[in-house]
Structure formats: C-alpha cells, structure tokens
A and B are shown apart, each in its own frame.
Chain A
Amino acid sequence: MKLNSVRMSRPAAFIGIFASVLLLLNVLLLFRISGLQTQNKIWKTKGVLNLAEQRALVEHGLEGEYLGDEIELLRREGFRLLDDHVSKLTLLYSFTITCDRCLNMEMDIYQTNASMLDETHVTPLMVFGNIDQLLFDRIVRSFGIKEFSIRDKEEVLIKKFSKLTTPIILLINSNGRILAAHISDYFDRAKSQRFYEKVFNIASRT
C-alpha cells in the first residue's frame, strides 16, 4: 500500500476542521439553551407561593371550620378535660412528634403567654399524636403540662390534619368552630407571638 493513500487531501481536512468547529459551536449553543431553560423554570416558579404564604393560606382555610366531630371523638376516648370545653374558649394544640425544635419553641412561647391565657379565660388543651405512652409521660412531666395534655391514641387530629406535620394551634369556641388557626414555623418566632395577640383580642371581645 502506498503511504499517501491514507493521507487526507487539504480541502478534505479543511472541511473536517470546519465541521468540527461548527459542531462545537452547536454544542455551546445547546448549553446556552439549557441555561435559558433553567432560568425560564425559575421565572415560572415565581408564580408559586412560598412556604409562609402557603401556611397563611391553610390557616385562613381552617378558620371557620367545624371541629365538633373531632372533639366528640376525643371525648369518647375518655378525655375528661374536654368536659370543661362547653363553656369556654379552648386553645387546642395538636402536636405530632415529628419536630422537637418546633415543639420546644411553641412550648416556650406558650409559657410566656400562659398567665395571659388564664386572665382571658382561654383553656389550653394539648393533644399529642404519633407518640408512645412512655415518651408522652416524660414530655408532659418535663414541660409541666400534665394537667391539660392528652395522648391521642386513635390519632383523631392526625387524621384530620395529616398534611400538616408541624404543630398546629387552634382557637375554638364552645360550638367546636375554629376562630383562629396557627401553623408553627420555627424560623419565625414572632409569628407565634402575633397569633397569641390575636387570641387575646378575640377572647377579650367574647
């Protein structure tokens, strides 16, 4: 075989290099397009509500809702604490033990406001779901909330609010109607305090 039989001709080599440069440019263009697509996705999500806005929407949706059936179910579980509920406003805490930080924070804020709740005749009732008896006993003892805490074995409130894994606090009237709702956010302590101010406002008007 002759050596020059495997050598490229000059125009062919030129076309080859030109084609490779062209292809490289195409690829760069593709990268640019994919970058633009990502940016486009970000712009699209601008229309989606952030977590705080979603929480506010759920809270607003809960207000006015009837919780009498759940209260009746809890009463049937044998919680005598609910007997006092008929004549008073109740601040119902639903704790699913999924976030220690959230529970700790809400307890801290509760302790700050406990005396004010007492003055405005709002009865606290703390319902714990997703928890075994031993841990429940230890938690209520260490927070000093034994007198008004119950362990919801049937998970009545979890079934009702299964989509919400963070603590929920609800102000309910004697008819079982939710007057105000709060979903805990451990990045925003002030939000919890604002909720208590709302509770005191409602309580002082009724």
Chain B
Amino acid sequence: MYKSRGIISGYFAAFLSVFLIAQFSCDRKTAPSGAESANKKYLSLREGSGSKFGDYFSAGRKIALDLKDEIQIGPKPSIGALSRRGEFIILDSFGVRQILVFDTNGIYKTRIGSQGTGEGQYLYPDNMFLDQKTGRVYVSDGDLLRILEYDEDYRYLSEIALPVYIEQLLVTKEGRFFCFTSGSAGPDGADRVVYEFDRTGRIKNSFLRMPKTFVPAAEAKGGGMVHINDMFYIITPYEYTINRCNASGKVTAQVRIKTPFYTEMKMYADKKVETDLNERKRYHSTWSHIWWIINIGKDCLGVVYNEAGTKRYYLDIFTSDLDIIAHSILLPNLIATPHAIHTAGNDLYWLEYINSDGIENIAIAKYSFRYLHNSPMPVREEVETQ
C-alpha cells in the first residue's frame, strides 16, 4: 500500500517537473522575447462608436509645392522629414529618384544628394530619419543597401552598410540605430521585426518575432515603430497587436485590438495563393493591412489600417499606456505610399494631389491634433486583461 503510494507520488512529481520544463521551453519558442512578463490586454471596440476626424484634428492650411519647370515629381512621393528649420523634405524614391527640400511655404530650396552609385548618391531612397538633436539626415537606399548620412545643411558625411533591407530607420537620442522590416526573413533567416545595428552595419540585437499567423504569401509593406519616452511601440502589417518594448527588446506591454473596420488576416485554403498573382490579390483583399504607426502629440500614438479590400483608411489613437483615446477615424484622401503620413509634435502632414488650372500638383495637407490629456475617454470599450 505504502509502496504503491510512493510510486504514484514519485510519478506525480516526475510529471509535474516534465510539465514545468515543457511549459518553460514552449514559452521560449513561441512568445516574443520577453513577452512572458508583459502586461497583455485585449480591446474589443464596439461597432458604431467610431470617431470623426474633425473631433480630433483641426485642418490647417494646404501648402502647394511650388515646383519649378525643371523639377518633376515621381508617382509615389512621401514626406521624409521636417527639418529643425521647418523645411519639408520630400522623398521621391520611385521613378525620378530624388530628395527635395521645400521651405515652409512650399518653395523649392535644394536637393539632398543625387541619383547614382557614388559617394552620397542613391538609387532607391525610400526611407529617412532626421535626428532632431543634431539635425542630421539619414537616408536609406533600398537598392544599394546602405544608409547615407548628411549634416544639417544636407552635406554628405558618411555611409553605413545595411545588414538587411529596411522599411523604417530610427536613430535614438543616444545614437543607437534601429530598423524595422516586415519581410519574411532577416539577414540570418530570422523571423524578427526589429534589428539594432552599429555604424559598421553589424547586427547587435534583434527582437520581436513575426506573428505566428504570418506566411510568405501574406507579405506586405506596412506596420512600423515609433519611439516615445524611451520605449518602442511596434506593429506588423499582419495583426493588430501593438507591442511596447524597451531598447533591449523586452516586451513590457502588449495590446490586441478588434475594431469594426479591421478584418483579421485569415489563412487561405487554396494553395494557388502561393503561386498565382490574381489569387494573391484576392487573398490580400480579404483582410485589413496595418499601414502605419505614428507618434501624435507629446506621447500618443496612432495606428492606420485599411478596411479590407478598400482604399478607406482608418486611424485609432492610443495613449502611451496603450489605452484607447479614439478609434475608427476615417482619414480624408491621402497618397498611400510607405510613410505617407508624417507627424511632428501635434501636427499631422500628408501629401495630396490637387488640381490648379487643370494642372496636377502636389500639396502638403496639415492637420493639428487637439486631444487634451485631462479630457474623458470618449469611446466605450471592452477590456480584457490576460
């Protein structure tokens, strides 16, 4: 009797230890790095409680770009940065391939670098970062895989070889380089989203895994990261989950959101999606893509996504604690290119096509965010803490 009890308790202890080991190893394999201790939240926002754009943003003036005859803008321009002097730096990576600088009134001032493969030149300048502390401009060239560094007066300084094709570059005030990529594989085949690298292009750290639902056929541009109060807020194009990480990559908070106009990515049943372009297009039209994450105001952030299969873009706004401020704000017309929306302080900018005297031109639309921190949360929400 005692003997059998002993054996049973021994086996029980063994199973318990095996169970604990399995759990531990399982967590390490599937959860984002550091996510075990993260504060996880699930927000389900009710239908019909969407907010109006005008409730949160006041329209400023539209600044038409005064293009000289010799300047031609390509089909997909975007605002790269706003300099410390208030100049608009326009990235024109597709077609003409140029970086143009306009003053606060939209008057053309100068170009940064030029097209080519030499020093300070680029072939596909699709992303940039302006260090507000030093005024330095960092341009990433997606074709030659390098970052070009220019000083505040746009003179070429140096270049950094890129370890991976990046979609977004971020330089912290300590001078640390971080990049975001939503592609299927990083430089070492790793399925990470954010990489930190040094000035020699060597990867120092990588963090946050791609969502478990990701498959190569779903690959899309979008998502990104913002840096608020020394924390990174990161989102991929594939699922509406905002991850808050510290600079070493530890996830400190995570929120998954469900809104009326966001359709989650589903797995396809038809294998044709993997090989047939039209089937892939159809598949991508069945779910919403997260397009951008932006920093609004002092410490708020916004996420822009489209309604599945449409070109209607919605914005949800959160506090830095990942509490909702407003959701399902339908954005007015904008040119949808990577990094189309640019923010600086309380101001939101994007490019719009305008027609003046029958000639197509581009204007910078400016809107100001007017959320006050002590105002009550204007939306109802269902919160479930995991």
Question: Is B74 a contact partner of A15 (Cβ separation < 8 A)?
Answer: no
Tell which of B9-17, B59-67, B236-244, B301-309 binds the partner. Answer: B9-17
CB closest chain-B residue, reference A10 = B6
Taking CB atoms, residues of chain A closer than 8 Å to B123 are 104-105, 108
- Pairwise interchain contact A138-B74, C-beta atoms closer than 8 A: yes
Q: Judging by beta carbons under 8 Å apart, are A20 and B10 in contact?
A: yes
Q: Does A158 contact B (CB under 8 A)?
A: yes
Would you give 26 A-B contacts (Cβ < 8 Å), ordered by A?
A: A8-B5, A11-B3, A11-B6, A12-B4, A15-B10, A16-B9, A16-B10, A17-B10, A19-B7, A20-B13, A23-B14, A24-B14, A24-B17, A27-B22, A100-B76, A100-B93, A101-B126, A101-B142, A103-B94, A104-B143, A105-B124, A108-B143, A139-B94, A142-B95, A143-B95, A162-B276
Q: In whole angstroms, what is the CA distance A31 to B280 when docked?
A: 38
Please tell me if B327 contacts chain A, counting CB pairs below 8 Å.
no
State how many angstroms separate the Cβ of B215 from the closest Cβ of chain A: 15
Q: What residues of chain B lie closer than 8 Å to A16, measured between beta carbons?
A: 6-11, 13
Whether a CB of chain A sits under 8 angstroms from the CB of B372 is: no
- Asked whether B370 is an interface residue with its Cβ less than 8 Å from the other chain, the reply is no
The one of A17, A27, A162 that contacts B277, using a Cβ cutoff of 8 Å: A162
Q: Within the complex, what minimum Cβ distance (angstroms) separates B280 from chain A?
A: 7
- Which B residues are closer than 8 A to A by beta carbons? 2-11, 13-15, 17-18, 21-22, 25, 72-76, 93-97, 123-124, 126, 142-143, 165, 275-278, 280-281
| Closest B residue, CB atoms, query A4 | B2
- Give every chain B residue within 8 A of A98 (Cβ-Cβ): 277
Q: A130 and B277: CB pair below 8 A?
A: yes
Contact B94 A100 (CB under 8 A): yes
Whether A158 and B277, one on each chain, are in contact in the complex, defined by CB atoms closer than 8 angstroms, is yes
The proximity string for A residues 154-178 relative to B, scoring 1 for CB distances below 8 Å and 0 otherwise, is 0100100011110000000000000
A13 at the interface (CB under 8 A from B): yes
Question: Given A13-B10, A96-B277, A130-B277, A27 and B18 touching (CB < 8 A)?
Answer: yes
In Å, the complex CA distance between A135 and B72 comes to 15
Residue of B10, B13, B93 most packed against chain A (CB within 10 A):
B10
Q: How far is the CA of A98 from the CA of B10 in the complex (A)?
A: 60
How many angstroms between the C-alpha atoms of A156 and B76 in the bound complex? Answer: 26
Known: A16-B11, A104-B143, A162-B277. A142 touches B124 (CB 8 A): no
Q: Which residues of A contact B17 (CB under 8 A)?
A: 20, 24
Distance to closest chain A CB from B25 (angstroms): 8
Residues in A with CB closer than 8 Å to B278 are 155, 158, 162
Chain B nearest CB: distance from A17 CB in Å? Answer: 6
Contact B93 A8 (CB under 8 A): no
Which residues of the partner chain A approach B15 to less than 8 Å between Cβ atoms? 23
The answer to whether A105 and B277 touch across the interface, beta carbons within 8 angstroms, is no
**Interface residues in A, total, Cβ within 8 A:** 40
Interface of B is mostly: helix
Residue of B nearest to A23 (CB): B14
A40 CB-CB contact with B under 8 Å: no
Give min CB distance, A41 to chain B, whole Å.
14
B6 close to A8 (CB less than 8 A):
yes
B143-A15 in contact (CB<8A): no
**Which residues of A lie under 8 Å from residue B25 when comparing CB positions?**
31
Q: Is the CB of A139 within 8 A of B11?
A: no
Is B124 touching A24 in the complex (CB atoms < 8 A)?
Answer: no
> Across the interface, do B94 and A186 meet the contact criterion of CB distance under 8 Å?
no
Kindly state whether residue A87 has any CB partner on chain B within 8 Å: no
A13 CA to B2 CA in the complex, in Å? 9
Taking a contact as CB atoms under 8 Å apart, the answer to whether A104 and B124 are in contact is yes
In the assembled complex, the Cα of A165 lies from the Cα of B95 at a distance in Å of: 19
> CA of A138 to CA of B25 in the docked complex: distance in angstroms?
53
A19 to B10, Cβ gap below 8 A? yes
| Interface residue from B4, B6, B72 paired with A142 (Cβ < 8 Å) | B72
Are the CB atoms of B124 and A130 closer together than 8 Å? no
Is A9 positioned at the interface, with any CB of B under 8 Å from its CB? Answer: yes
Cβ-closest chain A residue relative to B279: A162
A16 to B7: give the CA distance in the assembly, Å: 5
Distance of A8 Cα from B8 Cα, bound (Å):
11
- Beta-carbon contact of B277 and A15 below 8 Å: no
1/0 contact trace for A120-142 toward B, CB 8 Å? Answer: 00000000001000010011011
Contact between chains at B95 and A15 (CB < 8 Å):
no
B-side contacts of A186, CB under 8 Å: 143
Find chain B residues with CB under 8 A from A96 CB. 277
Chain A residues 20-43 with CB under 8 Å of chain B are: 20-21, 23-24, 27, 31
Nearest chain A residue, comparing its CB with the CB of B144: A189
Closest to B338 in A: A100
Q: Mark A97-111, 1 if CB is under 8 A from B, else 0.
A: 010110111001000
Distance of A165 Cα from B5 Cα, bound (Å): 66
Min CB–CB distance A103 → chain B (angstroms): 8
Smallest CB separation, B80 vs chain A (Å): 16
Query: In the assembled complex, how far is the CB of residue A192 from the closest CB belonging to chain B, in whole angstroms?
Result: 12
Report chain A residues within 8 Å CB of B7: 12, 15-16, 19
Q: Are B75 and A8 in contact (CB under 8 A)?
A: no
A19 touches B14 (CB 8 A): yes
Q: For residue A21, which residues in chain B have a CB less than 8 angstroms away from its CB?
A: 14
Report the Cα distance A142→B73, complex, angstroms.
7
Q: With the chains together, A18 CA to B11 CA distance in Å?
A: 9
Contacts of B126 in A (CB 8 A): 100-101
